Structure 1
Amino acid sequence: MLRYILLLIIAAAIQFSFAQDTWIRVNQLGYKSKAKKVAVWVSKKDQPVKTFVVFDAKSKKVVFEGNASRPFGAYGPFVQSYRLDFSAIEQKGEYIVEAGGVQSPIVRIGDGVYDGTADFALRYMRQQRTLFNPFLKDSCHTHDGFTLYAASIGLPDSTRIDVGGGWHDASDYLQYATTSANATYHLLAAYRDFPYAFTDYKQANGLSGANGIKDVLDEAKWGLDWLLKMHPEPHMMFNQIADDRDHASMRMPGEDPFYGRGYERPVYFIDGKPQQRGKFLNNTTGTSSTAAKFVGAFNLGAAIFREIDKSYSETLVSKAHTAFNYAHKKLGVTQTVSVKSPYIYAEENWVDDMELAYATMFKQTGEQQYLEKALSFAREEAVTPWMIRDTANHYQYYPFINLGHYELAKSLQGEQREEIIAYYKNGIAEVWNRAKQNAFFRGIPFIWCSNNLTVAFAMQCLWYQDLADDATYAELMQANIDWLFGTNPWGTSMVYGLPAWGDTPVDPHSAFTHLHHYPIDGGLVDGPVYTSIYNNLIGIQLHEEDEYEAFQSDLAVYHDDYGDYSTNEPTMDGTASLIYLLSSQESSHHVKDEYGAVVRGNSDKKHVSLVFTGHDFNDGKEVIERTLRKQQVKAGFFLTGDFLRNKENHDFIDKIKKIHYIGPHSDKHLLYAPWEKRDSTLISQEDFLKDINDNYVALAAHGIRKEEAAVFMPSYEWYNHDIVRWTNAERVQVVNYTPGLRTTADYTYPQMGARYISSDKIFEQLLQTEDEKGLNGHIILIHLGVDTRREDKLYNRLEDVVKMLKSKGYEFLRIDEVI
């Protein structure tokens, strides 16, 4: 102990002198228990670091001592850097890494650190919807659009065509078929590969309400529906809606009267030839790149919807065939169109798209000819070109990962399968040769949208590991994931609002945030760019003092500033790719509701969690404590400040705190949101934080520290996105009972009429639910006390409930063991 005290004293003295020169960068979201865990120590002074320690953030006890890596030397703004590997720590908890006189932010470890993140990022996709926007609960771009370049098929310029729908591409409101098809494919693949990562809390239109379909599949179908409109006939396919004239001003996504046709926007036909509006001419050479992406999305969608909606699946199959023919109309690449600025999606490769098209056609038809042709296209572009270069033009090689290799490899055997897997390995090796030179293991070029490349590369490492059963690049994959969430020179997450308690973008290049302060939850921003690129871009001007000035360098820059569209603009397709990556990292550990509250534990495990809430009624406390003690089961108690301060309850609290979890339930049992309009908030963030912190003060009076009570059940079990976000920012997790159970109706009494449910009925419903669906992972809520007008108290049946669950083989977990 004395050694550790001396260590802290020395560390504090060193940290004082190095506070502005030295940092430890970590993944703010956290690390899975079995994953590689590496922090990066960086300094503006050439200070040697030999060892480091990791201590428990709660107990302050040192749990690991390790040796630092070799010195990696200068990188970006730093003159020295080290990697600190603490992978040996697998125990769930919160920790702090300390080395060279500085400490890291809190590090979370646990299998569930990524849980709910994929659904969180889906919020941004819904917010990017056009035609009907569920975030704004309003419609936009309902008049799209008028055709251009389609005269060769009998559609003179300015012919009206219905192409409403899809997603806005970024913070402007252009829409591109190429990025939308790629995004749709990623969402479909996420559902196919990791369905357990997603929930069903939204309708098809994006508004609240389950519809029996996972929300990620609803979102993918939104993309498919638009792609169908963009390919209305076998001889018709369109590439984009609107153009850079849309950049004229920042505004909400209402109608755009910039194109000389009122509220209609131009729709660009794919004719396989260079197209020009104004003085800029793109380098289109054919129809393949966009049309082939349609094929991949349609075929994967058809496979997934085959058992859900047979008619829709058949439509997608038909459209896949006509899009496949369109891809062969003129082999080559289709680029986007720009009118006033020189910036376009300058895609140059297309054989990767054709490989995906052929691979998915083989899966759809089983015809060998498609497999053989897919293999020939794979050989034409074995490695995605950006991986062997340190720079590239904007979207020059797109998608940033070869999707076709993964789909093709799964259909091959023997030497051919090994050949395709080797293509992935060769690309990874190219990046690794650059990455191993620096402490961040950064080998991704800092071109525009570098974060999109980072996500794609992490996916390639994941897919290689899966196909080859080879974990050689596991640490490199993790380094790229860590980069996105704070293990980078700037120490910031690149995803808006994730994690809620971390340093994340707050001033992105987005009209939603800039004009109305709407959160763009889950949006992946572009990411850092080479300083040489940044210095040559048109129209960038920072609006605020640069909080990351100390971390900018001649190598690369990143600005959390509305004025920097090159590094801080969120993109729809990048976020869709991120959703796949995040879903791959999630466990089936627990289930969250649409607001982010945990409402169920691991459904694969036969356990339940009993929870009790207490405010002004306390008549059942003794019966409950005695029953739990007799039956030797653990439970959780959520108590208001008023309950905790009531002297009548003090002996009871002293008894239960030795065994059971005790956490906050609001200090004054406030109603945070209206019953009839849940997405509104009745309390300010300042008042909410005062309420919950007053609750913690009351808990502290009973010797219960906040660190021990970091699970919160809101009063009335009623909350919304604001409450969950504000709570998460305090490093506290919101929980609620599992929907569908009626034990919460134990507060009702006969005078309530039809709302009253007897304890017998409640018990019967619990039995029925267990019999029909099982109660694995269920959080079962009972009140500590109820109104005197209710004579049949459910807590008097608690022993029956416990015995019944035990007889069915259920284990009882404390609620903090569920999280």
Structure 2
Amino acid sequence: MPEIIACFMGYILSLGLHVQSNNHSSRMKIVNPVPDEVIRYNQLGYLIHSPKVAIWASYVKPVPDSFSLCRADDGQCVWKSACSRDFGVYGPFSHTARLDFTDFHIPGTYVLKAGNATTAAFSIGDEVYRGIADFCLQYLRAQQCGLNPVLRDSCHTHDGYTLYGPMPDYTHVDVVGGWHDASDYLRYVTTSATTTYYLLAAYRNFPEVFTDSCQANGLPGKNGIADVLDEARWGLNWLLKMHPRPDWMFHQVADDRDHAGFRLPNQDSVSYGFGLERPVYFCTGAPQGLSRYQNHSTGVASVAGKMAACFALGAILWKDKDSVFANLLRQKAFSAYHFGEEKPGYCQTAPNLAPYYYTEQDWQDDMELGAALLWQMSRQPKFLRDALRDADADPLKPWMGADTALHYQWYPFFNAAHAELIVHLKQDKLRKKLLGYYRKGIEAVWQKAKQNAFYRGIPFIWCSNNLTAAFAMQCWLYRHLSGDHTYQPLEQACIDWLLGCNPWGSSFIIGLPGSGICPHDPHAAFSHLAHIPIHGGLVDGPVYGSIFHGLIGVHLSKPDSFAAFQSDLAVYHDDWVDYATNEPTLDGTATALYLFAAMEAEGRGINK
């Protein structure tokens, strides 16, 4: 993951690349001349009845009085309206305004014009999100460990040997499978279980949007099962290996010794001192770290709760599909939850060579999710009581409304457990209380977002796009569960941001849209070394200029095509060397998949 700065420094030097100092001025040198005025918009397009807003921005010129929506084929103007007030400075721009055409409802292909700026063609229609969730599955298949269907070869088949467990250290345990976490080859239950939950929940809530084009292992060929379920089962099978018996639970495979430079996973020869076997970290509930640095773990419940939730939801979904598998998952759901009950607290990932790791510091949300789904699976009142208790203990994510947070400090980035309870609770008072938790977090972001034209209230910390997708999903769930549309413009602004309505005018999904502006040079071995596209991955996204300028070993491998749009506020580079803003991640992509499935379902008129 991108938190391993010191290790990456060694990687940069091993490539013979020079470390360069960074320019701290708000404007970087412009590589190509750019117009003074631009319009940023959702490149996929807009649902017929959703908010439809683009952003006009300029370095010098004042906000024009009006804007026009014109048909793309003949240029005929079909809508004209006043621009918003001037929201002023944002990033590199001196003047910004909102172009709101929400009340236009005729499907078609259009361009926007304001001042001297004109967009490329985009669509208005209820099909604009069709197939996007399935598109994101391409990246998850590329992340598969064990059999990798993209390479059509296997990797890391010797994993691994145990550490910190009740068994003797260096005991072999089979944990082959799962997904690589990002552009490295570590595997974490923390992010893998979150990914698995989002896949399962997306299929449960929006099954109509998913198709079948791959086999269970990710290779091409239909098998009669939606691909998203195949991928979720890939995750579940690995989680089962990480919880092989009721009193055993592992949370991590490999460590930051992995960060030895780009190589394809099937050519990974990094040694941890035992041939090709890699360490498998046991959940102890205490700090871990083999070298100078250790994490600050206080328990195991954050990992155990996530596991229990996945197993319980899997048991529900496979009950009528594969009863043997469902029964196994049911048993594991109970044992994983009880494992978490025995050692409450959070289990952070283990560092080694550098003091960087996932600093997750909450756990009641994970146990709430596990309990909520165990209640749905078993209808045992204990689990409902537990879930409601933990909901009150962890009502909202503290990053919402804040300017910064530690890396993965409040994770997962939104509390899906509240929604799992709201859907099934009959007591209106309890439903309103949980919806109030969602609303409070949304309102905290809104108080910051309403001050700028982009409605941007998400902090520019590492993985800002992950936070954006998660927050948009919280807004979506709140709107559909409460019937309150107050924050829909903010929700849509987050979705639009991910798809091009941002200062850089770029989508942050690799390869999407194919004819638009999107990441083509991500921080990934597949694309950089083998020129294999990893379409569908959500990249980390913009970070504060202060974060980027403080990184070790960062420079660009080529002229910056977005140079005119960088600022001290935030930077983003479509450059493989930039591991801070352009690295795709497993859990971020799964979050976006969940969000896009919801948006496609909305376009289809499915409201669940």
TM-score normalised by the shorter chain: which range applies? over 0.9
1:431 aligns with 2:445: yes
| Identity across matched positions, percent | 53
Kindly report which structure 2 residues correspond to 1:548-697, keeping only aligned pairs within 5 A, or say none.
548-587=562-601
In the alignment, the residues of structure 1 paired with residue 359 and residue 558 of structure 2 have an alpha-carbon distance, to the nearest angstrom, of 31
Q: Does the CA-based 8 Å contact 1:257-1:264 persist in structure 2?
A: no
In the alignment, the residues of structure 2 paired with residue 373 and residue 233 of structure 1 have an alpha-carbon distance, to the nearest angstrom, of 23
In the alignment, the residues of structure 1 paired with residue 190 and residue 496 of structure 2 have an alpha-carbon distance, to the nearest angstrom, of 28
Q: 2:240 aligns with which of 214, 221, 228?
A: 228
| SS across alignment from 1:584 | helix
Kindly report which structure 2 residues correspond to 1:692-731, keeping only aligned pairs within 5 A, or say none.
none
In the alignment, the residues of structure 2 paired with residue 115 and residue 575 of structure 1 have an alpha-carbon distance, to the nearest angstrom, of 17
Aligned letter for 2:411? Answer: Y
In the alignment, the residues of structure 2 paired with residue 144 and residue 572 of structure 1 have an alpha-carbon distance, to the nearest angstrom, of 20
Say if 1:71 and 1:294 are closer, same or farther in 2 by CA, change over 3 A: same
1:469 aligns with 2:483: yes
Q: 1:272 aligns with which of 271, 281, 285?
A: 285
| SS across alignment from 2:147 | strand
1:511 equivalent in structure 2: 525
Aligned letter for 2:206? Answer: F
**What is the CA distance between 1:588 and its match in structure 2?**
9.2
1:350 aligns with 2:381: no
**What is the CA distance between 1:452 and its match in structure 2?**
0.3
* Partner deviation per Cα, 1:129-154 (whole Å, 9 max, x = no partner): 0100111111111000011111xx2x
Q: Does the CA-based 8 Å contact 2:253-2:280 persist in structure 1?
A: yes
Q: Does the CA-based 8 Å contact 2:190-2:306 persist in structure 1?
A: yes
* Partner deviation per Cα, 1:562-592 (whole Å, 9 max, x = no partner): 11101000001111111111111115989xx
Q: 1:63 aligns with which of 73, 78, 89?
A: 78
| SS across alignment from 2:81 | strand
Aligned letter for 2:453? Answer: A
* Partner deviation per Cα, 1:212-243 (whole Å, 9 max, x = no partner): 11000000000000000000011111111011
Q: Which blocks of at least 5 consecutive residues in structure 2 are unaligned?
A: 1-32
Q: Does the CA-based 8 Å contact 1:256-1:265 persist in structure 2?
A: no
Calculate the TM-score normalised by the size of structure 2: 0.92
| SS across alignment from 2:478 | helix
Say if 1:403 and 1:545 are closer, same or farther in 2 by CA, change over 3 A: same
Kindly report which structure 2 residues correspond to 1:342-491, keeping only aligned pairs within 5 A, or say none.
342-412=355-425, 413-491=427-505
1:336 aligns with 2:345: no
Kindly report which structure 2 residues correspond to 1:763-774, keeping only aligned pairs within 5 A, or say none.
none
Q: 1:158 aligns with which of 159, 166, 170?
A: 170
Give the number of the structure whose alpha-carbon radius of gyration is greater. Answer: 1
In the alignment, the residues of structure 1 paired with residue 344 and residue 396 of structure 2 have an alpha-carbon distance, to the nearest angstrom, of 20
Aligned letter for 1:271? Answer: T
In the alignment, the residues of structure 1 paired with residue 329 and residue 552 of structure 2 have an alpha-carbon distance, to the nearest angstrom, of 41
In the alignment, the residues of structure 2 paired with residue 93 and residue 46 of structure 1 have an alpha-carbon distance, to the nearest angstrom, of 31
Aligned letter for 1:485? Answer: L
**What is the CA distance between 1:342 and its match in structure 2?**
2.2
Say if 1:348 and 1:588 are closer, same or farther in 2 by CA, change over 3 A: closer
| SS across alignment from 2:399 | helix
In the alignment, the residues of structure 2 paired with residue 23 and residue 337 of structure 1 have an alpha-carbon distance, to the nearest angstrom, of 45
1:795 equivalent in structure 2: none
**What is the CA distance between 1:100 and its match in structure 2?**
1.5
Q: Does the CA-based 8 Å contact 2:538-2:592 persist in structure 1?
A: yes
**What is the CA distance between 1:19 and its match in structure 2?**
5.3
Q: Does the CA-based 8 Å contact 2:258-2:270 persist in structure 1?
A: no
Q: 2:325 aligns with which of 295, 312, 318?
A: 312
Kindly report which structure 2 residues correspond to 1:245-256, keeping only aligned pairs within 5 A, or say none.
245-254=257-266, 255-256=268-269
* Partner deviation per Cα, 1:614-660 (whole Å, 9 max, x = no partner): xxxxxxxxxxxxxxxxxxxxxxxxxxxxxxxxxxxxxxxxxxxxxxx
Q: Does the CA-based 8 Å contact 1:169-1:175 persist in structure 2?
A: yes
Which has the higher mean CA deviation after the structures are superposed, 211-220 or 536-545?
536-545
Q: 1:139 aligns with which of 133, 148, 154?
A: 154
1:213 equivalent in structure 2: 225
In the alignment, the residues of structure 2 paired with residue 275 and residue 526 of structure 1 have an alpha-carbon distance, to the nearest angstrom, of 27
Q: 2:210 aligns with which of 166, 182, 198?
A: 198
Q: 1:103 aligns with which of 118, 121, 135?
A: 118
* Partner deviation per Cα, 1:693-727 (whole Å, 9 max, x = no partner): xxxxxxxxxxxxxxxxxxxxxxxxxxxxxxxxxxx
Calculate the TM-score normalised by the size of structure 1: 0.69
1:148 aligns with 2:160: no
In the alignment, the residues of structure 2 paired with residue 523 and residue 197 of structure 1 have an alpha-carbon distance, to the nearest angstrom, of 19
1:189 aligns with 2:213: no
In the alignment, the residues of structure 1 paired with residue 554 and residue 176 of structure 2 have an alpha-carbon distance, to the nearest angstrom, of 31
| SS across alignment from 1:410 | helix
2:98 equivalent in structure 1: 83
In the alignment, the residues of structure 2 paired with residue 373 and residue 315 of structure 1 have an alpha-carbon distance, to the nearest angstrom, of 23
Aligned residue pairs: how many? 572
**What is the CA distance between 1:531 and its match in structure 2?**
1.1
Q: Does the CA-based 8 Å contact 2:51-2:489 persist in structure 1?
A: yes
Aligned letter for 2:58? Answer: S
Q: 1:289 aligns with which of 284, 292, 302?
A: 302
**What is the CA distance between 1:108 and its match in structure 2?**
1.1
In the alignment, the residues of structure 2 paired with residue 71 and residue 88 of structure 1 have an alpha-carbon distance, to the nearest angstrom, of 21
* Partner deviation per Cα, 1:446-479 (whole Å, 9 max, x = no partner): 0100000000000000000111011111111110
2:58 equivalent in structure 1: 43
Q: Does the CA-based 8 Å contact 1:96-1:104 persist in structure 2?
A: yes
**What is the CA distance between 1:533 and its match in structure 2?**
1.3
In the alignment, the residues of structure 2 paired with residue 246 and residue 329 of structure 1 have an alpha-carbon distance, to the nearest angstrom, of 32
Q: Does the CA-based 8 Å contact 1:94-1:109 persist in structure 2?
A: yes
In the alignment, the residues of structure 1 paired with residue 208 and residue 370 of structure 2 have an alpha-carbon distance, to the nearest angstrom, of 27
| SS across alignment from 2:44 | coil
Aligned letter for 1:253? Answer: P
In the alignment, the residues of structure 2 paired with residue 508 and residue 518 of structure 1 have an alpha-carbon distance, to the nearest angstrom, of 11
1:652 equivalent in structure 2: none
1:22 aligns with 2:37: yes
1:72 aligns with 2:84: no
In the alignment, the residues of structure 1 paired with residue 555 and residue 406 of structure 2 have an alpha-carbon distance, to the nearest angstrom, of 22
| SS across alignment from 1:387 | coil
Q: Does the CA-based 8 Å contact 2:135-2:535 persist in structure 1?
A: yes
Aligned letter for 1:114? Answer: Y
In the alignment, the residues of structure 1 paired with residue 34 and residue 522 of structure 2 have an alpha-carbon distance, to the nearest angstrom, of 28
| SS across alignment from 1:475 | helix
In the alignment, the residues of structure 1 paired with residue 394 and residue 186 of structure 2 have an alpha-carbon distance, to the nearest angstrom, of 30
In the alignment, the residues of structure 2 paired with residue 46 and residue 422 of structure 1 have an alpha-carbon distance, to the nearest angstrom, of 42
Say if 1:414 and 1:587 are closer, same or farther in 2 by CA, change over 3 A: closer
Aligned letter for 1:250? Answer: F
Q: Does the CA-based 8 Å contact 1:345-1:396 persist in structure 2?
A: yes
| SS across alignment from 1:429 | helix
Aligned letter for 2:492? Answer: Q
Say if 1:97 and 1:588 are closer, same or farther in 2 by CA, change over 3 A: closer
In the alignment, the residues of structure 2 paired with residue 20 and residue 318 of structure 1 have an alpha-carbon distance, to the nearest angstrom, of 61
* Partner deviation per Cα, 1:516-564 (whole Å, 9 max, x = no partner): 1110010000000111111222232211111111111111111111111
In the alignment, the residues of structure 1 paired with residue 589 and residue 68 of structure 2 have an alpha-carbon distance, to the nearest angstrom, of 35
Q: 1:325 aligns with which of 331, 338, 342?
A: 338
| SS across alignment from 2:265 | coil
In the alignment, the residues of structure 2 paired with residue 193 and residue 543 of structure 1 have an alpha-carbon distance, to the nearest angstrom, of 43
Cα RMSD between the aligned structures?
1.4
> Per chain length, whose mean CA-contact separation is higher, i.e. which structure has more relative contact order (CA < 8 Å, sep 6+)?
2
Aligned letter for 1:297? Answer: C
1:260 aligns with 2:273: yes
In the alignment, the residues of structure 2 paired with residue 448 and residue 19 of structure 1 have an alpha-carbon distance, to the nearest angstrom, of 28
Q: Which blocks of at least 5 consecutive residues in structure 1 are unaligned?
A: 1-17, 591-601, 604-819
| SS across alignment from 1:586 | helix
Aligned letter for 1:192? Answer: R
In the alignment, the residues of structure 2 paired with residue 580 and residue 186 of structure 1 have an alpha-carbon distance, to the nearest angstrom, of 6
